[in-house]
Amino acid sequence: MRSDNTPITLDLFADQAPSTPGQTERIGQQAFVLRGFALPWLERLLPDLEAVLRAAPFRQMVTPGGFTMSVALSSCGALGWTTDRSGYRYTSRDPQSGQPWPDMPAVFRELAQAAARAANFEHFEPDACLINRYVPGARMSLHQDKNERSLTAPIVSISLGLPAVFQFGGFERSDKSLRVPLFHGDIVVWGGVDRLRYHGVLPLKDGAHPQLGAQRINLTFRTAG
């Protein structure tokens, strides 16, 4: 893997075929796409994902501005992310059930840490895993991940199911965004100088994944507390 700070000018498009597992693509000075990195882990990961979602089912959350998000959310770990009329924040309990969020499965943590190490981020200790469900037409607008107490840890984002177009922008919302196709098993890791870049997901296209059906599930790991 390259470790220099050469700027990245490559633009990637969603109509390309999935990349060969094991390939690493650099999309920023300290931002990488690890192609197919999660695939060998899925036999262990998917049953644990189902168990987490039984305990904390997906729900449509409302933004402080009163808009219902098109992406359904859940969480696991010591902290979970939530939004409502009072703002964006992390909580130790699921506001829907009043119970603590489900524990983060060991395989989740191990995979997130392995991906972080592959992107040159050692000693990653995630305490929050956000689980997002996209159906065709759902999207995530450009935003920064800045509700975490410490911004020194990276973000690790795992894609499952239908392909999506990930937008990786600059430090202002108006900056031009790189368009990066993400496929089942791909992982994006960004941190360091790239930690506060704006990012999002374009509307999901119609389709059916052979394992997960007409949806994309995204697991995003952070050190929130």
For 69-99, the pLDDT digits (tens) are 999 999 999 999 998 888 889 999 999 999 9
Instruction: Let me know if residue 14 belongs to a domain.
Output: no
Cα separation of 3 and 55, whole Å?
41
Task: Flag whether 5 is in a domain.
Answer: no
Whether residue 11 is predicted with pLDDT greater than 80 in this model: the reply is no
For residue 2, is it within any domain?
no
Residue 97, domain extent: 24-222
CATH number at residue 129: 2.60.120.590
| Helices 42-55 & 106-118 angle (0-180, nearest 10) | 130
Identify the sign of the CA torsion 195, 155, 201, 66: negative
The DSSP bridge partners found for residue 155 are 190
Asked whether residue 39 is assigned to any structural domain, the reply reads yes
CA atoms within 13 A on the CB side of 187: 28
Dihedrals φ, ψ of 4, to 5°? -80, 180
In sequence order, which residues have a C-beta less than 8 Å from that of residue 27 and are 6 or more positions away? Answer: 8, 10, 33, 168, 178, 180, 188, 190
Q: Let me know if residue 16 belongs to a domain.
A: no
* Confidence (pLDDT) at 15: 43
User: Of 64, 81, 60, 101, which Cα lies nearest the Cα of 145?
Assistant: 81
Q: Is residue 54 part of a domain?
A: yes
Residue among 117, 106, 114 at smallest CA distance from 39: 114
**pLDDT tens digits, one per residue of 122-163:** 999 999 999 999 999 999 999 999 999 889 999 999 999 999
Distance separating alpha carbons of residues 84 and 65, to the nearest angstrom: 9
| Within-domain flag for 10 | no
The average pLDDT across 10-16 equals 43
Q: Could you tell me the pLDDT band of residue 18, with boundaries at 50, 70 and 90?
A: low
Establish if 6 belongs to a structural domain.
no
Domain count within the chain: 1
